[in-house]
Amino acid sequence: MSAKTNIISSVNNKRNAWVWGFTPQTELWNGRLAMIGFISAVLIEMFSGQGLLHFWSIL
């Protein structure tokens, strides 16, 4: 087994780990949390009939 294979397999095993810094894991978590935030904003607009900022009385 080469060193490259060991690195790739160790990254794949820890894909969902919560790791601080600029790592592939943080990019995965950033994308997941952004998707949750976007869906939440869309659902608030659908069910309340007003925009997110109006819903929170910011505008």
Residue-wise pLDDT tens digits, 33-51: 999 999 999 999 999 888 8
CA angle 3, 29, 33 (to 5 degrees): 165
- Residues sharing a CB contact under 8 Å with residue 51, sequence separation 6 or more, in sequence order: 45, 59
Spell out a b/e string for 27-38, using b for 16 or more CB atoms within 10 Å of the CB, else e.
Answer: eeeeeeeeeeee
CB 33, CB 26: distance < 8 Å: no
Given a cut of 80, is residue 3 above it in pLDDT?
A: no
pLDDT of residue 34: 97
CB 25, CB 17: distance < 8 Å: yes
Domain ranges of the chain: 22-59
Given a cut of 70, is residue 8 above it in pLDDT?
A: no
Model pLDDT for residues 13-35, shown as the tens digit of each residue? 677 777 777 888 888 889 999 99
